[in-house]
């Protein structure tokens, strides 16, 4: 299919798809609104069509590993007991400021196909989970149980983001324990990534950010 080399919208893409001779099904699950700046002539495979959103981490500071699930004060037991509780403060097991901390993790899928996966997560107090800037789960707050979220890791680079919230205790900054915990498994039930210090995070606690 030939696409124009100027900015195009989803309506134009739909129109171009209508002229395709392929018998393969077409999925719009990986299209995210208006995509600008495509410079392609000739044929373009659907599988190579990617969002033009920035999927690079915006933070560089490694999250602090607080410990594995058996760590006090959470004292939990999960299917993946290697994943770490993480936060942006080494004192988070006892007292850290209330507010929002954003965590980011990249995953590179080096296959030519998408990976069906499940992200299991828990947070003290809650977390919103995004994958490639799309909302996957609005509130991972099932502590002490993990919340399971079905997701799809696209071929190439993927960006997982967790906006975690530590509810202030007693008003004000309300310092109290806080953490984020997650792991991701593929359809073979193998863990392909987990929370640890390869996750990066915001260094300050603030108001709820906008993920876009």
Q: pLDDT per residue over 69-110, tens digit each? A: 999 999 998 999 999 999 999 999 999 999 999 999 999 999
What distance in Å separates the CA atoms of residue 191 and residue 114, rounded to the nearest whole number?
16
Each residue of 133-171: pLDDT tens digit?
999 999 988 677 899 999 999 999 999 999 999 998 866
The single-letter DSSP state of residue 195 is S
What distance in Å separates the CA atoms of residue 145 and residue 78, rounded to the nearest whole number?
8
DSSP 3-state helix, strand, coil percentages of the chain (rounded to 5)?
5, 35, 60
What is the pTM for the complete model shown?
A: 0.77
Q: Enumerate the domain spans of the chain.
A: 1-52, 61-201
CATH number for 61-201: choose from 3.40.50.10490, 2.60.120.260, 2.60.40.10, 3.30.9.10. Answer: 2.60.120.260
């Amino acid at each position: 299919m030939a696409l124009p080399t100027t900015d195009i919208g989803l309506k134009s893409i739909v129109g171009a798809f209508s002229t395709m001779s392929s018998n393969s099904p077409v999925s719009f699950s990986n299209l995210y609104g208006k995509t600008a700046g495509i410079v392609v002539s000739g044929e373009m495979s659907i599988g190579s069509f990617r969002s033009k959103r920035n999927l690079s981490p915006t933070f560089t500071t490694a999250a602090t590993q607080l410990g594995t699930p058996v760590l006090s004060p959470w004292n939990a037991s999960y299917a993946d007991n290697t994943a770490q509780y993480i936060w942006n403060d080494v004192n988070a097991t006892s007292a850290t400021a209330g507010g929002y901390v954003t965590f980011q993790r990249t995953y590179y899928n080096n296959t030519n196909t998408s990976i069906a996966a499940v992200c299991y997560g828990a947070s003290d107090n809650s977390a919103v989970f995004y994958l490639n800037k799309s909302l996957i789960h609005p509130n991972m707050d099932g502590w002490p149980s993990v919340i399971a979220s079905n997701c799809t890791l696209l071929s190439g680079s993927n960006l997982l983001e967790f906006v975690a919230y530590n509810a202030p205790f007693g008003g004000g900054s309300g310092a109290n324990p806080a953490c984020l915990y997650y792991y991701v498994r593929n359809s073979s039930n193998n863990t392909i990534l987990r929370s640890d210090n390869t996750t990066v995070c915001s260094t300050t606690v603030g108001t709820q950010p906008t993920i876009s």
